[in-house]
Amino acid sequence: MGKLVFHDPHRPDADARRVRMRERVAWRVSELEKRNVFSSNDLSTIARNMWSLTQRVRRKHNLSQEDIYSCTVEDGSKGTKASKNARYYELPPHASAKRYLTKRPAKYFRVLKEISHLTRGSENFFDLAEELLGTTVLAPSGNTIDNTESDHVSLLVDQLNALAARIESACKVSTYFKQLSRKLVSYDVRSDQFYTTERYDTLVDEIQIDPTDPWEICSDEAPPWPSLPLFREILTPKFPCAVLSSNSASCWTDRAGRRWAREISGDAARHVAFASLWMEVRLTIAPVAPHASAKPIFELRFPTRLENDDGQIRVLNEYTYWSGDPNIGAINMHDVLIPALLTADIPDSPGLDHLRFKPSEFCYFLYLPITDEITRVLLDRPISPETEYSFGGLTPSTTRLPVLFPHGSLGSLVEHTLLNPEQAGFDLSALLEKDARSKIAHFCQLYEPRHQAILRTHQDRLDGKEA
């Protein structure tokens, strides 16, 4: 006897509705492709829907504007031109509806087909078309819905820019940047200390920042800009390595007086460990061209971590290259630095193909402008179980935070610390200002005597005195 199937007469048949809607969308697409333009009444809503649609698929599938809009460039290439073309198709919340927008439906559908291709059909073209058209020509007569919902990423970018402006007003960071550019004082990022040396090796001039081409610098030359870590996430699997340490190692000494191992021979302690590469995302205030303006930027560092059964092994230099054996310099044993070398069989492909922003070598730092695009890539994504936050005891939980970023995203905690510092127990703005004041104070202790000595020499010359 066959299986009886009972249908609830009061329950809509979802599959049948889906088929009917697919047919309706296909008919509308066919009709619109024959049209030259969208109606003026529909165009701004279409562009707002396009913005909402592309933000969703970019977040879900880790796509960039360049990926999506490469089909709008004649040779299909990615880059700045493809990214800029988005402005002719999309209308973000709060953007002026008077901006020039592409009017031809066929061009919008070409972008939707590209999205479907990039996602290998995971995003069906007709589903995307329904999402684009559903509040205009597919909506019941007289009912259109405009996407005026505030964008959580844009709001966070506004908050970070306002934070930098407040710190500039309170600390006069731009004056500090001008003094740094005279290169009278040097800085070492590993010890977080300033030095007066005859050989200057810290680069602190204003930087040109480009969303498509991050500014990078070797950690040996890293500038003393106000900076605060947000989080660290692991990039590679942990792989076995060995650390050799000895106080009798052949060494060189850095400007902080610390000994770095060059070669270890004879008796040496051998520590079996595991190594892994991490990415640390920091909030930094930097002098940005053309006027060395104090602007917020993201700073990306790539520390190497060593661990054994007793926990993490602290090293002198965690910002090391990965070509050959990493130069860790020394390890910290009971608060004493012992010169050390790391020997590791680093995988040829350590699983970094997914990395959107990759330095020339992992001893380099990257600097990125805080744009909607960059912020979305770094923060508008799920939290990895191994992500380590810098927000004290604040960690992701089942409690829904009073923020607009999606629950469980990296950006939700950043937004929470900015909007609700007392509740979060971590005041991002206050801590970044504290770092700015601390760096400026320590810098001035060395800068002012040198600066005043040079001014006295100027005055002596003007007064006709011999040097």
Question: Residue 109: CB partners within 8 Å, gap ≥ 6?
Answer: 29, 32, 33, 125, 129
Q: In angstroms, rounded to a whole number, what is the distance separating the alpha carbons of residues 330 and 337?
A: 6
Q: In angstroms, rounded to a whole number, what is the distance separating the alpha carbons of residues 228 and 245?
A: 31
As given in the structure block, the two tokens for residue 58 are 């970019």
* Burial (0-12, 13-18, 19+ Cβ within 10 Å), 6: exposed
Q: 359-383 pLDDT, tens per residue?
A: 888 899 999 989 888 898 888 887 7
Rounded to 5 degrees, what angle do the CA atoms 389, 395, 55 make?
Answer: 80
Q: 316-352 pLDDT, tens per residue?
A: 999 988 876 678 989 988 889 999 998 877 766 555 6
Of 40-44, 298-302, 363-367, 430-434, which gets the smallest average pLDDT?
A: 40-44
Question: pTM of the full predicted structure?
Answer: 0.69
pLDDT at 334: 84
Q: 123-173 pLDDT, tens per residue?
A: 989 889 888 886 565 544 443 434 444 578 889 999 999 999 999 999 999
- Tokens 């000895």 appear where? 246
pLDDT at 286: 93
Q: In angstroms, rounded to a whole number, what is the distance separating the alpha carbons of residues 331 and 244?
A: 9
Mean pLDDT confidence for 263-280: 88
Answer whether 174's CB lies under 8 Å from 287's CB.
yes
397 residue type, one letter: S
Mean pLDDT confidence for 387-407: 74
pLDDT at 418: 92
- Tokens 């930098």 appear where? 164
Question: Residue 217: CB partners within 8 Å, gap ≥ 6?
Answer: 203, 223, 364, 365, 367
Question: Quick one: the chain helix, strand, coil %, rounded to 5?
Answer: 35, 20, 45
Q: Is the pLDDT of residue 107 over 80?
A: yes
